[in-house]
Structure formats: C-alpha cells, structure tokens
Amino acid sequence: MGRFRRRRCAPVLLCQIVDDRLEAILLRSADSLGDPSVEPWTSKRPLPPRSQVVLLLPRSEYLIRVLELPPVEVDEVAQMLRLEIEATLPREFGDTEVAYRRLNGATATSRRYEVYAVRRESLAEHLKICEQHDVQPDCVFPTAVLWARHLGHETAVDVLAVATKGGNWELATVQGDGQVASRTIGAHGTDAATLQTGLVEYLRPLLDQRGNAMPALRVGWLGGVCPAASNGRVVFESLTDLLVAPDVDEASSVAPLLALGATTLNDMQRTPELGTANLLPQWLQQHRLERSSLRAIATIACCALLGLVLVGAALQVAVVRYHAHSAGLGGRITAIQKGGEAVGRQLEQLEAVQRARATRGDLQRVLSGLYEGTPEEVSYNHVELGREGHLRLRGQAESLSMPFVLPERLEPLPMFQHVVLRDASQSRRGQGSVVEFHMEIQLVREEASR
C-alpha cells in the first residue's frame, strides 16, 4: 500500500471504470479567488502538468474488514493488517492488496482499523484499462473512503445512496466509531423494482435498530431522481447541492460518484488519514518511479549523444569549410608568391641599407648639438655613443653650478631627449679644484625623428 498525499494546487484526475470505459473528471484546486472547478475529461485530452490521477474502486471489487491491533509503529500497521486479513481470507481469494483507515474508539491496548482488501488480479485489470486510456493512477481509493468522509463530516443524512457504474447503486451508512457499512444493489439501469427491493432490504435492519422513538431515517440521494415518497420513518434528500459541480453544460453527464469524489479530494488536506486508504501497491509506485527514472536517463543519454553528434557535425562542417578556404588561399598565394617574396626580399635589403644610413650623421649631430647647447665654462673629455643611441658624457666645468644647467640647455635640442645628469662633484686637484660630471642622453636619430 502506498500512502497518498495530495499535492497542493495540483490538478486531480478522478476516474472510475465503467464497463471497460474510463469515466473521468478533472478537478482543479481552488485558488484564492474562487471555487474549485470540475470539468469532464476524456483520454483524448492531454493531462495538465503535475496532475495526480485517482481511481475510485466500487464496493463490488473490494472487501471491508474491521481489525484490532495493539499500538504499533505507524510504518508497521499496513504489514500487520495484511498478515491479519490474509489469515481471515480463503486461499481462493488469491493475492491481495491492502489499505486501511483508522477508526475511532482506540483504547490503551488496541487500535481499530477498517481494512480494505482487493484481489491483485482485479486491481491489475482496472490498472490495465487505465493504461489503455493512457492514464496511470497515483492512487486507488475504495468508495468506502467517500462514504466515511461524507457521512461523518459533510452531511446530516444517515444513509447515502449513490448511483455507481453500470446502473448499480451503493448504499452506505457510518456507525458511531466511523465504521462504514455499505452494500451494492444491482438495479440494472432503470429496473426500479430491484432498486426498491434492495433499498428496503438495506434499510429495514437500520430501522429496526433505531426503533420507533427515534427521528426518521434520512437517506441522502445522489444520482437519478430522488424518490419523493416518505412514510414518516424514512426521508429522502437530494444531496446534489453538496457536490463540487461542473460549471459546464456537461454537468448532467458527470457521474455522481466522481462528483462526490471531487468533493472529498478537495477537502483532503483536512483529512490526511484518508491517505492510508490507497490500494495502489507501493512496489508498483516504486516500479513506475524507476521506469520514469530510466526514461529520464535514456532521454538524457540520447540528448547527450545527440549533442556529441551535433558537435561532431559542426566540426565536420568547419573542417570542410576550412579545407576549402585553405585551398583558395593556397591558390592565391601560389599565384603571387614568387613576385611577393622577391619584393619582400628587396624590402629587407632596403631596410638593412636604411638602418646603416640612419646612423651616418650620428657623430655630426652629437657634436653639433653639444657645441650648440654647451656653455663655454663646460668642456667634455669623453663622449661615447652606444648601439641603441645611448650617449654617455664625462666632462669638466669651472663651477659646480654649470653641470646642473646643462640638462635644461640640451633637452630643447631636437637631437637629444631624456637628458639626465648622473653625478657632479667638485674635488681637489693639485693646487686647485676641479668640477667633474657624468651625464646620459638619448640620441634622436634622423630617420626615427621623421
């Protein structure tokens, strides 16, 4: 048994099997502005995303037993109930799926449960029909869950009579501890006599239990025309107003059982104990989960492979295009290679000549610049020009102040830049003193300055 939890705001497809047909309604949750909406659904329409599917199992398909258990862990309840109920069932019944609903009247030593058992084969047939209509139920509820919910909370009636599949009727009542007593009457569509007989047979024991002093037995009527007759001990009431009804014109085509189920599911957040009444086996849910995971893995793998193939195809296209481009470039290069390389060689030679000629005026430019910018009180005893046009000067001056004037006088000249006085000092020599300095200048060559 898999516990069922209704997702908030998720649409629910509520369905029942009627003679190999699937009858279904789509229940959209209420939002903050309005009521929940119900609309008929056919398997031709796609289900909205995140939809949950609930299948209602009629009373004729399952058994109800009331069992008592000592207080046990919640997780162990289902297993213990299964063992208990399998012990009470005949071997011919075969494999079963079990769900339960806890009843009132717990004591310190025992808990009471209403257990629903369905033959696995019967459940499988229902699920197979669902699959034929592309529907996978997330939950299979016995109809007793609906009776318990409505007779216990929603209505003030004592008996509920609801038209179910194939013209059958389900009659149900709830006892004081919440236990459901229900029965199916086969009326075969319009056979009113059968219905009446079955109804009388069902109501008589109830009337006998109540006695004459009690008020009249109120029978809630869903589906078909509500009987108007009343003998003072039985009163029939139409419950159509209680249901979440469709707004569309097909209202009349929605089965009463589904409409009742929609009302139940709409309030399910308030009755979480119904979640244990799911007859859908957990292994099946696990199997579906694994299948969906496998499908996701396979899809991802296929997408990844497809991505690789696409990358490969893109590379292939790029390679072909580069090949063509390269061939075109190769042809153009071959056509002009000889002449272009010859000119390139000549250019290199001209550059070599240019480099040589650019240095021809270095000595003259340096000397003329120094003559122009040097005051008479300064003389040079060493001038050195390096490969990169780096000029180093050593000289003497009559006064220590003169070397400091030199950068300002040489810097404005076009052939010099970055004039830096490295050091200047006055030292004793013989009877007098001598001022010596060291300066560095960057020579601006004629070609570079153009």
Partner 1 sequence: MMRWPRLHFGRSLHVREWGLLTAALFTIAAVLLVYHWLMPMYDQWTMLRAQVYAQQQELTTLERNLAMREAVEARFVELGRSVIQSESDQIILSRFLREIEAAARQPSLTLINMSPRPIDDNGTSKRYPVRLSVSGTPQDVVEFTAQVLNNSTVVGLESYSLRGVQGGHTIECTLSLWMVRLVEAAPSPDVVGDIALSQAKR
Closest contact distance (angstroms) between CB of 402 and partner 1 is: 17
Residue 192 binds partner 1 (CB under 8 A): no
Closest contact distance (angstroms) between CB of 335 and partner 1 is: 9
CB neighbourhood size of 100 (10 A): 26
Q: Given candidates 166, 312, 412, 414, which one binds partner 1 under the rule CB under 8 A?
A: 312
CB neighbourhood size of 377 (10 A): 14
Cβ distance to partner 1 smaller for residue 362 or 411: 362
Q: Quick one: DSSP state of residue 249?
A: G
Binders of partner 1: how many residues, by CB under 8 A?
Answer: 62
Q: Given candidates 200, 333, 420, 434, which one binds partner 1 under the rule CB under 8 A?
A: 333
Residue 346 binds partner 1 (CB under 8 A): yes
Q: Given candidates 341, 372, 408, 440, which one binds partner 1 under the rule CB under 8 A?
A: 341
Residue 423 binds partner 1 (CB under 8 A): no
Q: Given candidates 380, 405, 421, 446, which one binds partner 1 under the rule CB under 8 A?
A: 380
- Please give the sequence-ordered ranges of beta strands (E in DSSP) within 290-411, or none if there are none: 378-385, 390-397
Contact pattern from residue 258 through residue 287 relative to partner 1, giving x for each residue in contact according to CB under 8 A and a dash for the rest: -----------------------------x
Residue 343 binds partner 1 (CB under 8 A): yes
Residue 449 binds partner 1 (CB under 8 A): no
Strand 21-28 to 217-222 pairing: unpaired
For residue 46, give the amino acid letter. Answer: P
Cβ distance to partner 1 smaller for residue 9 or 315: 315
- With b for 16 or more beta-carbon neighbours within 10 A and e for fewer, the 401-418 pattern comes to ebbebbbebbeebebbee
Residue 362 binds partner 1 (CB under 8 A): yes
Residue 444 binds partner 1 (CB under 8 A): no
Q: Given candidates 350, 408, 434, 447, which one binds partner 1 under the rule CB under 8 A?
A: 350
Closest contact distance (angstroms) between CB of 409 and partner 1 is: 20
Residue 214 binds partner 1 (CB under 8 A): no
**Residue 69 contacts by C-beta under 8 Å, 6 or more apart in sequence?**
77, 80, 81, 84, 110, 111, 113
Residues 241/153, Cβ–Cβ less than 8 Å:
no
Q: Given candidates 9, 30, 248, 311, which one binds partner 1 under the rule CB under 8 A?
A: 311
Residues 426/403, Cβ–Cβ less than 8 Å:
no
Residue 358 binds partner 1 (CB under 8 A): yes
Q: Quick one: DSSP state of residue 225?
A: P
Residue 316 binds partner 1 (CB under 8 A): yes
Q: 3-state SS of the chain: helix, strand, coil percent to 5? A: 45, 30, 30
From the list 8, 78, 91, the residue with the least C-alpha distance to 50 is 8
Cβ distance to partner 1 smaller for residue 272 or 344: 344
- Residue 139 corresponds to which tokens in the numbers above? 């939950």
Helix (H, G, I), strand (E, B) or coil at 168: strand
Cβ distance to partner 1 smaller for residue 127 or 161: 127
The region of 22-30, 78-86, 136-144, 297-305 touching partner 1 under the rule CB under 8 A is 297-305
Residue 329 binds partner 1 (CB under 8 A): yes
**Residue 50 contacts by C-beta under 8 Å, 6 or more apart in sequence?**
7, 10, 11
Residue 326 binds partner 1 (CB under 8 A): yes
Q: Given candidates 45, 188, 204, 357, which one binds partner 1 under the rule CB under 8 A?
A: 357
Residue 318 binds partner 1 (CB under 8 A): yes
Sheet holding 21-28, edge to edge: 37-41, 21-28, 12-18, 52-57, 139-142
Q: Quick one: DSSP state of residue 34?
A: S
The region of 4-12, 20-28, 138-146, 303-311 touching partner 1 under the rule CB under 8 A is 303-311
Q: Given candidates 383, 400, 413, 421, which one binds partner 1 under the rule CB under 8 A?
A: 383
Cβ distance to partner 1 smaller for residue 191 or 447: 447
Cβ distance to partner 1 smaller for residue 237 or 362: 362
Q: Given candidates 270, 356, 423, 450, which one binds partner 1 under the rule CB under 8 A?
A: 356
Residue 429 binds partner 1 (CB under 8 A): no
| CA 85 vs CA 91, 99, 278: distances in Å | 12, 11, 16
- Residue 369 corresponds to which tokens in the numbers above? 């610049």
- Please give the sequence-ordered ranges of beta strands (E in DSSP) within 251-386, or none if there are none: 378-385
C-alpha neighbours within 13 Å on the C-beta side of residue 194: 11
**Residue 150 contacts by C-beta under 8 Å, 6 or more apart in sequence?**
160, 220, 242, 260, 263, 264
Q: Quick one: DSSP state of residue 376?
A: T
Residue 294 binds partner 1 (CB under 8 A): yes
Residues 147/180, Cβ–Cβ less than 8 Å:
yes
For residue 208, give the amino acid letter. Answer: D
- Site residues, partner 1 (CB under 8 A): 287, 290-291, 293-294, 297-298, 301, 304-305, 308-309, 311-312, 315-316, 318-319, 322-323, 325-326, 329-330, 332-333, 336-350, 352-353, 355-360, 362-364, 367, 379-387
